[in-house]
Structure 1
């Protein structure tokens, strides 16, 4: 095979009409022309009607559950309380801990989203099986060495849980939402290196009429609170996206991928909701017919009064957000200058500008951007503030991306609390 080379992140936006594709897949499923892998169609309809199944995502633990050593079931790395808030089987990055970390999130600080537990896999025996009706011939298996012999590509990209910011539906908008009560720390940006999924699929003999691929992880089966076994985590991708900028990553920030982040190989799907970036990938089905799993039927779609009775199309691109690198309810001295820092990101375009308000939205000024805005990545920014009046204050950061979209004052609610994109009101006290 070709000698590995490092390629820069030069992916070009491809005109993929993801919304229309998902609408077509939804129609095919509802008319019985799509296979729902792992769960009978009648069970999916039952699950779809029971929005409460999203409660399979653990609720937030109280602050007393945090510790300075590993404290979440099944997470391998240390979770010091100054860096993480443990939330059930997950660990949220405390956003203030990113202030001095540089552009890329160190592995030590990177959030962990686990449905079950982190598996410990042997990279020397690991294989990736490519199979299904969308191949021209028999199934193919690739070892880690096989992937490393392919041309390598490096992408700087964020991975973000679709529920990031979920707690603000309640704390800012007074609405309930099921699932893990993330603040803004269910995101991290890293330098991912690996093989293009497109190269692997072509070597495996993908057919021209293939429409979907379905990566599946090697973590244990996920069992919901009511005892329904949904099998291993898996979620379909349209072939158009798979052949665009998706990689099979085996390195993270210049080091072998760590266990909590998908070792030995994970899928990285730039700009899309984090569930698409399957960790510990073990096989990929390639299909000539649309595929569905619980992770794009009853989970990771929008349900609620503003959406159709059957829910929205499956979620694809992430939304627009901003966060201050400042503790919640921080105390800041009056009559002193303060350098406020933060980060903004978008799944649809690059960040065009960030505006800051230090008076709860009465006035706004533009922040200074410290990174060249790039697709599927965040930018760091800063602004100066010299408060004079003592007492409570509210800081706001509002991003606008190159599609022309600006963070709104409120997010349309949905029952599972996905894609919160409103301006977050960050409370501080001037002392």
Structure 2
């Protein structure tokens, strides 16, 4: 049996981190000394847990209102704004199907959503891992129409921000972390349609020497700690790039919305959300290892139990959420049907348990979801009395990974996997 692709993510990130520290990896735009200096600044910030994560100060591109980092409407019943981001409200999934509709899919922006012209857009591939080593200034190019003429594939995949659930480090464990204070709404499943990245790489002249592929977004540069880190980008090993990675141009049967990567984005199933670069334009294909701030400085585990240079994030953790408002009001003496969803980066969910105040009991799993990127479930409950109650749900995936009562803290608040205590009021 082959090793799960999600474990390869941790292996790749750990290896590239070591090579970067040893000076064996390369990446344009940020000097290693600058990143190490930024690392010291970030360490000071995370040591003072009350400080906020630095935010971008790059100017907005022409035609973008810097006061509107997100293009789509943000109805309060569907989405909760969080600085340049917006998270899905879980009650908005009640009565919905398996995928998250586009209007309530979460938005993770490092800067602002760019408005791009599909006719002028080009996918530009370059680097030493391609035949004749085209350069960034003279790349191999594909238009959107050319991509659409290639064999199309559809993938139902889950995307999740690595900081999803960060709020609960503070609220439940008294261990606040800087960064976006996500509840559990920084996650979503959609049907993505596009062309395999591997197909395009081969057409561009992929060589046997290629080891890394690094897509880069077309959103504005990210500036933090006084350092311009350039555009968001993160390398993939060639094995993953040739496996199931999609260059998607449709989401749930519609052209990609602006906030979700129009005209084309990368979708990397099973890997943390930062790997699925939006608004992809340049793609470096390299015969030598690549690095970026997004796999050496950010999206790494720092703090107690981790080395000074951090650990690779690895597999997304197991989580469970109720499709229910926070502090929802429920009727006493009447049976209610609780609904929720559970997911894991390591594999499909095997079982879910619910506690309504009288101990853990199995939830009923929706059979049609078995083996998919997330699992819907239900549980019946008849509240016995009026007052405040706490609901809990926990899941276990097919690898045996589950949810502890408390998540192991880390300085940047990644990969929260603790059981969330969801309050309700019975009236």
TM-score (norm 2): 0.91
Q: What is the CA deviation profile of residues 308-340 of structure 1, one whole-angstrom value per residue up to 9, with x for unaligned ones?
A: 111002x34322111001111112111011010
1:117 lines up with 2:112 in the alignment? yes
Distance 1:232 1:194 in 2: 23
Q: What SS is found at the alignment partner of 2:37?
A: helix
1:35 lines up with 2:26 in the alignment? yes
The residue correspondences of 1:249-260 to structure 2 (distance < 5 A) are: 249-260=248-259
**Alignment length, in residue pairs?**
405
Q: What is the CA deviation profile of residues 392-426 of structure 1, one whole-angstrom value per residue up to 9, with x for unaligned ones?
A: 11111111111111111111111111110111111
Change (3 A) 1:376 1:45: farther
1:339 lines up with 2:334 in the alignment? no
Match of 2:217 in 1: 217
Q: What SS is found at the alignment partner of 1:296?
A: helix
Q: What SS is found at the alignment partner of 1:19?
A: helix
The answer on whether the counterparts of 2:17 and 2:295 sit within 8 Å (CA) in structure 1 is no
Structure 1 segments (4+ residues) deviating >6 Å: none
Deviation at 1:72, TM superposition (A): 6.8
Deviation at 1:36, TM superposition (A): 3.6
Match of 2:287 in 1: 288
Distance 1:358 1:379 in 2: 20
Structure 1, unaligned runs of 5 or more:
1-11, 59-69
The residue correspondences of 1:369-380 to structure 2 (distance < 5 A) are: 369-373=365-369, 377-380=373-376
The answer on whether the counterparts of 2:392 and 2:420 sit within 8 Å (CA) in structure 1 is yes
Distance 1:71 1:354 in 2: 43
The answer on whether the counterparts of 2:244 and 2:269 sit within 8 Å (CA) in structure 1 is yes
Match of 2:421 in 1: 425
- RMSD between superposed Cα atoms in Å: 2.0
Match of 1:395 in 2: 391
The answer on whether the counterparts of 2:337 and 2:379 sit within 8 Å (CA) in structure 1 is yes
The answer on whether the counterparts of 1:270 and 1:376 sit within 8 Å (CA) in structure 2 is no
Change (3 A) 1:415 1:157: same
1:303 lines up with 2:302 in the alignment? yes
Q: What is the CA deviation profile of residues 42-68 of structure 1, one whole-angstrom value per residue up to 9, with x for unaligned ones?
A: 01111222323871259xxxxxxxxxx
The residue correspondences of 1:310-389 to structure 2 (distance < 5 A) are: 310-313=309-312, 315-359=313-357, 363-373=359-369, 377-389=373-385
Match of 2:60 in 1: none
Distance 2:246 2:372 in 1: 13
Q: What SS is found at the alignment partner of 1:270?
A: coil
Distance 1:124 1:404 in 2: 48
Q: What SS is found at the alignment partner of 1:176?
A: coil
Deviation at 1:115, TM superposition (A): 1.0
Q: What SS is found at the alignment partner of 1:213?
A: strand
Distance 1:20 1:93 in 2: 31
Distance 1:50 1:349 in 2: 36
